[in-house]
């Protein structure tokens, strides 16, 4: 009888073989594309992409964006392995969004909505509009998603986030309240805590963060919000404890080291403040706040 260890080893070996073969096939495909003219590219892409949806994001990244510069409509024609044109544009939008190409993603989601309005496309269009700093338009897009699906928790939560970005805290609180009423989630509860903290309601904010952490004890945005709120509320030792918990989860979390350094500096523990800033600086040398904060502490010595 085959042991579990032997079975796992066999599956591992099979996985390696499949992975190697897949890599060779993909590499050969892109080599072929790079050595072919655009006419051959047009003829071959439909066949390849119709067999593997997983090629879509890689194809857009390596071929369309970097090599051909085809228009959005041309991309859809080349990757059209769907019966639904709207879904085709939506998936292209997702790929661009995942690549951080938000303007292109915005155009793709617009095309998807043009063919068939959907709450998913409106919601994701709102996400990329936020990334583009176009918060009022994002609010409109989220509201359109909610009109189609009033129980879409993500859209209510994202709507609250867009209001928050504009400093519209009461509007943000209303949207987040609805999100939590539909389905309590660590993200929406954390956003509620952020709003309450911004309004100076520190005790209530801490309660909101604690509710989020009951759902997900390692959710770093809730821990960061709680740590900062405790600091702003003068509860420095509790704040430091929370920041330590974050770096236990992720030792390379810049904001926690920097915030910890600020708290140590506030209570006059300059040695530990400098140590904390020294942890933050190498994580992201391009950020100036930890460097500046360290110098402020040094000047106090």
**Residue 180's pLDDT is what?**
86
Cα separation, 271 vs 266, in Å, equals: 12
pLDDT in the model for residue 69: 46
Residue 24 — pLDDT band, cuts 50, 70, 90? Answer: very low
Given a cut of 60, is residue 225 above it in pLDDT?
A: yes
Model pLDDT for residues 89-117, shown as the tens digit of each residue: 888 888 888 888 899 899 989 999 998 89
Task: Tell me how long the chain is.
Answer: 301
DSSP 3-state assignment of 295? helix
Residue pLDDT, tens place only, 10-19: 443 444 433 4
- Helix (H) / strand (E) element for 83: namely none
Please tell me the predicted confidence (pLDDT) of residue 88: 81
**Percent share of the chain, pLDDT over 90:** 52
Read off the pLDDT of residues 256-269 as tens digits, 9 standing for 90 and up: 999 999 999 999 99
Residue 87's pLDDT band (cuts 50, 70, 90): confident
Q: Residue 69 burial (CB < 10 Å; 0-12/13-18/19+)?
A: exposed
Confidence of residue 72 (pLDDT cuts 50, 70, 90): low
Mean residue pLDDT of the chain comes to: 79
Q: How confident is the model at residue 73 (pLDDT cuts 50, 70, 90)?
A: low
Which of the four pLDDT bands, split at 50, 70 and 90, describes residue 23?
very low
- Which pLDDT tens digit goes with each residue over 174-205? 888 888 888 888 998 998 899 889 989 899 88
Least confident of 34-38, 235-239, 246-250: 34-38
Phi-psi label, residue 75: left if phi above 0, alpha if psi -120 to 50, beta otherwise: alpha
Alpha carbon distance 24, 130 (integer Å)? 39
User: Looking at residues 20-34, what average pLDDT do you find?
Assistant: 41
């Amino acid at each position: 009888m085959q042991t579990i260890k032997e079975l796992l080893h066999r599956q591992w070996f099979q996985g390696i073989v499949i992975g190697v073969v897949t890599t060779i096939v993909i590499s050969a495909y892109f080599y072929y594309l790079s050595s072919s003219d655009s006419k051959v590219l047009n003829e071959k892409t439909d066949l390849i992409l119709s067999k593997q949806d997983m090629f879509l994001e890689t194809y857009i990244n390596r071929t369309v964006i970097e090599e051909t510069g085809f228009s959005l409509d041309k991309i859809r024609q080349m990757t059209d392995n769907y019966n639904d044109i709207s879904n085709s544009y939506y998936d292209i939008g997702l790929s661009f969004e995942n690549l951080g190409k938000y303007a292109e993603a915005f155009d793709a989601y617009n095309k998807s909505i043009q063919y068939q309005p959907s709450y998913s496309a409106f919601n994701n269009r709102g996400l990329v509009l936020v990334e583009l700093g176009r918060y009022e338009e994002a609010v409109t897009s989220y509201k359109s998603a909610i009109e189609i699906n009033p129980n879409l928790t993500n859209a209510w939560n994202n709507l609250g986030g867009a209001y928050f970005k504009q400093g519209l805290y009461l509007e943000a609180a209303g949207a987040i309240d609805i999100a939590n009423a539909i389905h309590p989630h660590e993200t929406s509860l954390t956003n509620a805590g952020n709003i309450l903290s911004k309004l100076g309601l520190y005790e209530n904010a801490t309660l909101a963060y604690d509710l989020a952490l009951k759902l997900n004890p390692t959710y770093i945005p809730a821990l960061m919000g709680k740590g900062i709120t405790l600091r702003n509320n003068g509860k420095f030792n509790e704040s430091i404890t929370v920041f330590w918990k974050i770096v236990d989860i992720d030792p390379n979390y810049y904001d926690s080291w920097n915030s910890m350094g600020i708290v140590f500096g506030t209570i006059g523990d300059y040695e530990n403040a400098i140590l904390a800033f020294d942890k933050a600086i190498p994580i992201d040398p391009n950020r100036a706040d930890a460097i500046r904060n360290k110098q402020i502490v040094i000047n106090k010595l």
